[in-house]
Amino acid sequence: MKKNKLTLKDMSTASGQLVELKQEEFMKLPNPYDTPEAQPPLKSLSDEVREKFECDLDGFMAIKIIRPKSREEEERLVNKFLDGLRKLLSKENNWTFFMPLMLSLEYCAKCQTCSDACPIYVSSGKNEVYRPTFRSEALRSIVDKYIRKKGSLYLKMTGNEIELNWKMVARLAELAYRCTLCRRCAQTCPIGVDNGLITHELRKLFSQELGIAPEEIHAKGSVQHLQKGSSTGMIKQAFADTLEFLEDDIEEKIGRRITMPIDKKGAEILLIHNAGEYLSWPENPSAFAIIFDAAGVDYTLSSEIVGYDAVNYGLWYDDFQLARVALKHAQIAKDLGVKKIVVGECGHAHKAISVIADRILIGDLNIPRESCIPILEDIVVNEKIKLDPRKNNFPVTLHDPCNMVRLMGIVEPQRRILRKIAPRFREMEPHGVENYCCGGGSGFAIMPSLNFPDWRSGVSARMKFKQILDAFQDVIDPSIKKMVCAPCSNCKGAIRDLLAYYNAWEKTGIAYTGLVEFIVNAMVDVKEPYIEWPEF
Amino acid sequence: MAKVMLGGKEVEVDEDGFIQEPDLWDQNVAIDLAKTEGVQDMGEKHWKLVNYIREYYQKFGIAPMVRKLCKDCDLKLKEIYEMFPSGPAKGACKVAGLPKPTGCV
């Protein structure tokens, strides 16, 4: 274990676990979590797991890389890493992100403005290994020495004389999963260097060249999405069964039967939800159905495989998987003859289909894609349905999904909705494009294995928890029920686990839900409260 | 992946204790899986829930949505947490022999 200040060289030379996290060094949380006793312990990996898998970074594990059995195997993997790196750095093989990657590798002035913008670095008590530039510098050093073959004097002067060996590669793989790709660092950089992009490209290298990726986002994620229809494993029949259940459930709740339109040719909108909503937060797609029905929106859902799950995990780690899913989404929209695709409350799906896929969708596949939020804004603000804000008379704060605000600039519509229908809405600070990630970004929310969830709730989501607590300090007593509005499935998953980890409902009365739930809760025609509070 | 003894037979489980060969599941396997979840005594209600999950999984290849589960088994979510402290997905589904939940759930 490294006792002194960590340097890049340690990545390839230190034996065993590189750094040990100390909870007493973590960023302090506000009341009632301002004591050491209020911090849930971080679980350690068992000796059996440590022996079997590469986990020599910080004692946590996001990817399960089986330790190579021989030197030859290690060398083979290191060489593959170099092959992949060469591809990343060539226009022909990396046409998607070649230019921004080159710019970010070339121009970092090492001013460290980005460090204080990174919630993981700050929350960890400024642990060097999580500094946004640490990972980038490691990659830059490898590029300088092994690809550009700079002389040893240059490498010494830049402090970049590192050794590329298996230890370095294995630690880099894990380190590529200690950043949520929130890109707050890129936003604050005076010259636009994007450490989030460098992390993304590293993940890509590992997935596309070495077949190394967390199983939750690859094998059980995008692969399952393409094969079965959804990353949840939901097959077509299960989707049909689910919708049938939801229609019954809606009728029971609001006293009126609403049909959820499926595969309606020529509808104006193809609405795609993150399929996790159907399973874990069915009140969300149901709320969309109620609102769209009341407002007379001409839309359809798709029952085609992939068409009923908006997720596109490839966005986080693999351009090929990203393209496969995006093309399928567009093809389904084209076959249905809709005018546009509208993405439900899912941040990364917003970015994947609306922004990143734009260069992949050519010709008549380039169907307009939109966020659901401005459509909802139009319905609420222009009073297309009857709403009574008094029905949302409890404190509410809003979490901004990074992909909606920072990446796409969708900032005001969700606020105009809440200002109209939630009289006790208050902002968390900072918010909008300056927001902090929920801690579950880039796949972390759906990686529940071993002790990784502890790292997420303890470190990567720590800043979000602080923000939520700060926003409610004046009403922190658990007898006052309050809501975090999080219009994104991944963010909801991370916030759900975060609140459970800190037992926050019991201690502070804080619960969470999406955005559409507030709208239906305020609907005059819906007599019973729509928002459900935890039962315990 | 590792092999462990469950219900008197060797079954492969993942790092989080979910069985990898759903076909090997039977009541005795479930009883031992329940113990790993801190459930010492599988009562009537436990079986009703586990069997419901199992049947749904065999039909549709996934766990039922929690809302449906509560409704069809006439249980409140709170009661499920009392029966299986890790909750429906990580607790009850594990005992029912389902693989670990996937996707944004």
pLDDT tens per residue across span A316-360: 999 999 999 999 999 999 999 999 999 999 999 999 999 999 999
Q: Is B3 touching A (CB cutoff 8 A)?
A: no
As given in the structure block, the two tokens for residue A330 are: 């567009």
Give per-residue pLDDT as tens, A273-331: 999 999 999 999 999 999 999 999 999 999 999 999 999 999 999 999 999 999 999 99
Cβ–Cβ < 8 Å for A42, A454? yes
pLDDT of res. A5: 87
d(CA A400, CA A432) in angstroms, rounded, equals: 6
Residues A230 and A239 sit within 8 Å (Cβ to Cβ): yes
pLDDT greater than 80 at residue A71: yes
Query: Is a pLDDT exceeding 80 seen at residue A172?
Result: yes
Confidence of residue A1 (pLDDT cuts 50, 70, 90): low
What's the pTM value of the predicted model, to 2 decimals? 0.96
pLDDT computed for residue A153 by the predictor: 82
CA nearest to A496 within chain B? B105
Residue A260 makes CB contacts below 8 A (sequence gap 6+) with A243, A246, A247, A285, A289, A301
Bridge partner list, A340: A269
Domain ranges of chain B: 2-95
Contact, A274 vs A309, CB < 8 A?
yes
Tell me the CATH architecture of domain B2-95.
Answer: Orthogonal Bundle (1.10)
Beta bridge partners of B3: B12
Q: Is B104 a catalytic residue?
A: yes
* For residues A67-93, average pLDDT: 97
CA distance linking residue B17 with residue A63, whole number of Å: 17
Work out the angle at residue A391's Cα, subtended by the Cα atoms of residues A388 and A394, and round it to the nearest 5 degrees: 130
Beta carbons of A232 and B15 less than 8 Å apart: no
CB contact under 8 A, B62 and A449: no
Mean pLDDT computed over every residue of chain B: 93
Mean pLDDT (chain A) is 96
Query: In this complex, which of B62, B78, B90 lies closest to A536 when CB atoms are compared?
Result: B78
What does the alpha-carbon distance between residue A468 and residue A462 come to, in Å, rounded to a whole number?
10
Of the pLDDT bands very low, low, confident and very high (cuts 50, 70, 90), residue A31 is very high
Are the beta carbons of A53 and A181 closer than 8 angstroms? no
C-alpha count within 13 angstroms, C-beta hemisphere, residue A313:
32
Burial class for A76, CB neighbours closer than 10 Å (0-12, 13-18, 19+): middle
- List B residues 23-62 in contact with A (Cβ-Cβ < 8 A): 59-62
Alpha carbon distance A198, A177 (integer Å): 12
| CA A300 vs CA A184, A200, A257, A334, B33: distances in Å | 35, 34, 17, 13, 42
Q: How many CB pairs under 8 A join A and B?
A: 95
Task: Provide the token pair at A205.
Answer: 């290298």
**pLDDT at residue B1 in the model:** 72
Give the tokens for residue A485: 């509005």
Q: What pLDDT sits at residue A498?
A: 97
Distance of alpha carbon B27 from alpha carbon B22, whole angstroms: 12
**Cross-strand partners of A484:** A397, A512
- Please report, to the nearest 10 degrees, the dihedral formed by the alpha carbons of residues A311, A317, A320, A322 taken in order: 20
Check CB contact of B101 with chain A, cutoff 8 Å.
Answer: yes
**A475-522: per-residue pLDDT in tens?**
999 999 999 999 999 999 999 999 999 999 999 999 999 999 999 999
Residues in chain A with CB shorter than 8 Å from the CB of B62 are 232-235, 238, 279
- pLDDT surpassing 90 at residue A2: no
- Is residue A4 very low, low, confident or very high in pLDDT (cuts 50, 70, 90)? low
pLDDT for the residue A411: 98
- Give the position of tokens 């990659």: A139
- DSSP conformational letter for A39: S
Count CB-CB contacts under 10 A for residue A365: 15
Give the Cα separation of B103 and B105 in Å (integer): 6
- The pLDDT of residue A343 is 98
CB spacing of A238 vs B90 below 8 angstroms: no
